[in-house]
A = this chain, B = another copy of it.
Amino acid sequence: MRIAEFDREKVLRSAMTSFMDKGYGKTSMQDLKQATGLHPGSIYCAFENKRGLLLAALGQYREDRNTEFTGIFSGQRAVLIELKAYLDNIVLECQSCDVSRSCLLTKALNEVAEQDEEVRGIITLYLAHWQQAITQVLQNAIDQKEITSDRNADVRAHYLMMGIYGLRTFAHTHPEGNTIKQLAEQLYEDVCR
């Protein structure tokens, strides 16, 4: 036996960054070698494929976003306060000039969705889980009477997700200014109305 020498999470986060920066297709194994510090053979030994590395990176991304999510929605504040903080965070990401402007899930969905049914399925599953989490948050807000029950949590969650997707796309064309912030604020109002 022999234990792998590299730090799996570090490697996956490096791969994540590369994929978000150049996209999956344009990220060469040389790029990945440089980003992760792993030689091709090690990558193939650990992840089988470039595609396997993508899948692992997607999983790590999901996990990271998940802990971030549960960190923000910890229940220590009113649900709507937490939701506002969550949106503020997304706005900051959209306004940043680095790679975090885009979401790896939607970026990969756009790129390989039509070609790779399995990858699309996995990404769709991850996004569905995210949707469930948001639905739960909004249901909590309804239960706490912070928002009305006129529209149910599912409908509101769909709308919020649509808005966040749109914000991220919008950010690619309007990186500067406070357009994104204004949009996020109206989105918040419309979701919570």
User: A residues engaging B (CB < 8 A)?
Assistant: 21-23, 25-26, 99, 102, 106-107, 109-111, 113-115, 120, 123-124, 127-128, 155, 158-159, 161-167, 169-170, 172-173, 179, 182-183, 186-187, 190
Contacts and interface: CB of A to CB of B under 8 A. Distances in A.
A106 B106 CA distance: 12
Q: Is the interface of A mostly helix, strand, loop or mixed?
A: helix
Quick one: copies of this chain in the complex?
A: 2
A172 B110 contact: yes
Given A162-B166, A166-B161, A110 B115 contact: no
Contacts of A111: 23, 110-111
A113 B113 CA distance: 18
18 contacts: A22-B114, A25-B25, A26-B115, A102-B110, A109-B169, A110-B111, A110-B169, A123-B173, A124-B173, A158-B170, A158-B179, A159-B186, A161-B170, A162-B170, A162-B187, A163-B163, A169-B169, A190-B190
